[in-house]
Every structure is written in C-alpha cells, then in structure tokens.
Homo-oligomer: A and B are copies of this chain.
Amino acid sequence: MLEYIILGFLMKEEMSGYDLKQWMVNCTSYFFDASFGSIYPALKRLEEKGHISCHEVIESSKFKKLYAITDVGKTYFLNWLEKPIAFSKTKQDHLVNFYFYQYLPNEKAISNLKIFISEVEELLNRLSNQKSDVEKEYDVNQFKFIYSAMIYGVNYYQFIIDWCNKLLKQIEGENL
C-alpha cells in the first residue's frame, strides 16, 4: 500500500522522501501514515523497478533527492487504482479493549471511556480545523475526493465519540 501512496503523491509533482513524509503527516495521517524507516527503502525499491526516477538537487541550499514518477510508474499506478477495491476489515484496536470491559469495575470503565473520548476529540478538533482551512483556501469541488476523505475522517471520529458517549451513559445509568 505504501508504494502506491508514494506513486499517488508523485502523480502531482516530484518530491523527496522527506516531503512525502510531510504530506502524509499533514494530509493523510488520519487514515494512512508511514515512518522514514519504510519510506526510504520503498523509494529505493520503486527506483529499482523503474517506477520512479531520482535526481539530486540543492533546493534552498539544502541537499535533496527528488523523485519523479516515470511513464511505467504512471501506468502501473493507474492500473492498480482502477481495480475494484477490496474492503479489508480494519483492526479497531480500541474495540478489543472495550470488548472485554465486562471484567473491569464500572468506575474504571467509565474513567477509561472518558479519557479515550477526549483523546479522539482532540484528533477530531485538529482535523476539523484543517477541514475548515481547506474550505476557506480551496475550491473543494476541485478536490472532491480529497475533501470527501476529510469528511470521512471527521465523521469517523465523531462516530467513535458518539458511540463511546452512548456506552458511557449506559454504564453511568447503572451506577445510580
């Protein structure tokens, strides 16, 4: 998946491994992120396969290895993109915890739920602000899919918060 994401970003413009990481942190980290330890080897592999090409530059007096997608790479990427998407059941790690909360005293369940909620709320706020910025600065119709992904992210976080709150009220109701 990482190699496809890299190709996807390079469809827009050439960039370095460091740039790619920045893009992920700023734009896709709510559904995909990768470490330098996987990005750099991936770039090496993609170059070996001929999907990308590299040229070294000095940009604002900083050494950079800029990677550009090749025609072979473009064909490869688009061929992958047009294939039907297999829904891969995503691990919802937090559900593993909640699933066994029957073994926890209610007070502990409540306090942990509250901590978890505020954790997700912070992520929601950050993404929500980012979404507002995009709405102000860009014509969202031109970035339909990217903007839709943001809406997904915001609504997904909200969904988790709502679910937690419902569960919270249910347990709290019992404690009375």
Contacts and interface: CB of A to CB of B under 8 A. Distances in A.
Contacts of A85: 93-94, 97-98, 112, 115-116, 119
A96 B32 contact: yes
A39 interface: no
Given A31-B89, A31-B99, A32-B96, 14 more contacts: A11-B100, A28-B99, A33-B89, A77-B103, A78-B104, A81-B101, A85-B98, A85-B112, A88-B94, A90-B91, A95-B149, A100-B145, A144-B171, A159-B159
A76 interface: no
Interface of A: 1, 4-5, 8, 11, 28-33, 77-78, 81-104, 108, 112, 115-116, 119-120, 123, 143-146, 148-149, 151-152, 155-156, 159, 163, 166-167, 170-171
Specify the main secondary structure of chain A where it touches its partner.
helix
Contacts of A149: 95, 98-99
Q: Work out how many copies of this chain go into the complex.
A: 2
A118 to B, nearest CB: 10
A158 to B, nearest CB: 10
A123 B92 contact: no
Interface core residue of A77, A78, A89, A120 (most chain B CB under 10 Å): A89
A90 B89 contact: no
Contacts of A4: 96
Interface core residue of A93, A99, A116, A146 (most chain B CB under 10 Å): A99
